[in-house]
Structure 1
């Protein structure tokens, strides 16, 4: 697949709306990653994932219909939809939720900061996209910024609150998310963003239902409070519906490697949720987040026009 002209031609219009969709999508992902630790105090992992997919499936029923002028799905696109859901929805959610149970937020921030680099690598190998020096520099700034803030937050002499299992699960989540971006780029060429969101959510529901039902039979549904149920509804709508639609809408106009840079908003938003929950932002952390945002600007702002 050839790269989008938005990244190769200095005279092409800058897709600001697409950039906004990508930034908002990953910011919402980061917010529910932070809030998911609250939900994990009330729900076991598989039940939480099952309730998320089930609630989102009800919300997205109207999105399942094929739009006017949209071609029927062929075997290749059905396989891509399954892989998109298995890697980007089901496996990413499981790796992330279990990884958060076995890892500190500091280590999670460092590892999730590797998503842009993983996206650039996979888009180069699988999509044959040629990344510009500015995109690679933007990725480096984003990774450096989030790694810096994570390391800066580690108290001197404190024990590592992470296991190798947690680190491995979070690394798995990184490459699941990178695969989600690359496969999504192939899907958006033929399938609408809304229909992609609804179909991959249904696959996620089907995959997690056996494990979800198993945990549901052992769960006391009267235990969670009303605010927790409200947070679960937000989690379902944000994680399966809104963020996927925003991401696929933006991905239609932006090459996968460049879109991957916007993944820096994920750990940034997670940290901001931490601030809302009572954490403090130091000067070093502010500089680190500035580096991450500078990376996004470097990779997305239009270059100087020639002649």
Structure 2
């Protein structure tokens, strides 16, 4: 099982069918695959008996590089999959991944359809009641807008009157709804929030003039805007949260993956993977299952 490679230009190019225009650098196609990680017996012993030696079914997104996307061959790639795969190898496990909507990810964990969600799920108190969450980074959110439009300032009240596209179920949605109420209370136009199944669909809404802005996490926002001349990263940074992978609540996989992720932090593999995608801003010093919500 291969572990990871830096995000290749071909991965973004594959997203052009999803309305993400791609630019590439000539040296990003080098095959820098790293040899698989050997299973760690102490960590593998943390895996519940029913899962030991198994291939876990995982759900992921596929249109939000570098967190998750598809490479030139159509395969899912990205930070969340690479980190989960490396952790799984330490635990003596393998991962089989498929793309599905974020809305399907948490119900899929609860029903047993999926063992892991790699959707970079933000950690919230509400979610900690129903799933176990293993943080892999800390991100905030900003907005992608048309490069031809005036940039949005750093104040949330400058969103008043805007139509904003967001991923269905994203933690930005209730915050924007509160902000919309504040706009109206101040005598300003409301914010219109429209939801879409994935980042590519939200961006398409901006490009087709159905939305003024699309929410985007701070890591993906930098990558996408740097590689798509039609878009600019704009507006305030808000909604900073731990984000990560998730398992069903209380089945023991969460504890095992948290311990494995901490080992990846300690041995330097975690930083190596994250930095290979240019996502240094999300790096954590430690990993705690279901961390406190700040």
Tell me the TM-score normalized by structure 1. 0.22
- Greater fraction strand: 2
| RCO higher in structure (CA 8 A, sep ≥6) | 1
Tell me the TM-score normalized by structure 2. 0.23
- Greater fraction helix: 1
